[in-house]
Structure 1
Amino acid sequence: MSDATRKPDRILFVLIGVVGLLVVVALAVVFTRGEPAALDEASPAGVVQRYSKAVIDGDNATADSYLTDAARSRCRGGYPGEPRPARVVLVSTSERTDSATVRVSIVQQSQGGPFGPSEYEMEDAFSLLKVNGTWKIDQPPYILTACSVVPAK
């Protein structure tokens, strides 16, 4: 064989190798993405992040620890008819001296339906108060309400 016929073969093999390498790198990036970075637990956004994760995981006792006493006393339990949110995304934080508002985007998924699973996204806000130097949630969005103990009526 002459050199002219071997050159296109080498170029083709190099191109296939580069494409294969890019596919492997892309798959590695997708499968090694872990959970989002934990925010500072002393910040309003960090408290909301930990509370939201506890609610999504069904850990009501941990979620309860992030609530003010007033929020705990107002708690009437979760909303069993609604599915737990799939994701909670931070939109903005407004921090004042003794209070804060953390706006989030809440994504819910529902199974079934004529076209398969669907998603619903809504924006809502957490109200936080500083209690003894620690941020506590005074009012969570209704869809992220979870209580470990429901007070007697």
Structure 2
Amino acid sequence: MSDAARTPDRILLVLVGVVGLLVVVALAVVFTRGGPAPLDEASPAGVVQRYSKAVIDGDSAAAEKYLTDGARSRCLGTYGGVPRPARVVLVSTTERTDSATVRVSIVQSSQGGPFGPPEYEMEDAFMLLKVGSEWKIDQPPYPLTSCTLEPVKR
């Protein structure tokens, strides 16, 4: 075979090799990236991040630590039949002297669907109060409401 006939074969092999390498690198990046960086736990957004993670993980006891006494006394438990959110994304934070509002995007998904699990996204807000030197959630959005329904000890 002549050198001219082998050149396109070599170029094709090199191109296929480069594309294969790019696919492997892309997969490695996707599968090795970590979760979101933890925010400062003394900030309103950091409190919301930890509370949301506890709710998504189904840990009501851990989530309750971030609620005010008033929020715990008003809590009616988790909403049965409603799937836990799949993820919560920070939209904005407005911090005042004794209160804060943390707006989030809440994504929920459910089972089934001919094209995969359907997702629903909504934007809502957490209302926080400063209790002593700590931020506490006074009003979580209803999809992220979680408590154990034990009476608050006073």
TM-score by length of 2: 0.91
Alignment match, 2:8: 8
Residue type of the alignment partner of 2:62: T
Tell me how far apart the structure 2 counterparts of residues 29 and 86 of structure 1 sit (CA, whole Å): 22
Identity of aligned residues (%): 82
1:3-152 equivalences in 2 (<5 Å):
3-112=3-112, 117-151=117-151
Unaligned regions of 5+ residues in structure 1, if any?
A: none
Aligned to 1:15, the other structure's residue is in SS state: helix
| Cα gap change, 1:115 to 1:151, in 2 (>3 Å) | farther
Runs of 4 or more above 6 Å deviation: none
RMSD (Å), alpha carbons: 1.7
CA deviation digits over 1:121-147, x for unaligned, max 9? 111100011111111101101111111
Q: Which amino acid aligns with 1:146?
A: S
Shift of 1:116: 5.4
Which amino acid is 2:78 matched to?
Answer: G
What is the rounded CA distance, in whole Å, between the counterparts of 1:25 and 1:55 in structure 2?
34
CA distance in 1, matches of 2:81, 2:7: 66
The number of residues matched between the two structures is 152
Distance 2:27 2:116 in 1: 26
One-letter code aligned to 2:131: V
One-letter amino acid of the counterpart of residue 47, structure 1: V
Structure 2 spans left out of the alignment, 5+ residues: none
Task: State the distance in 2 between where 1:129 and 1:86 align.
Answer: 26
1:148 Cα deviation after fit: 2.1
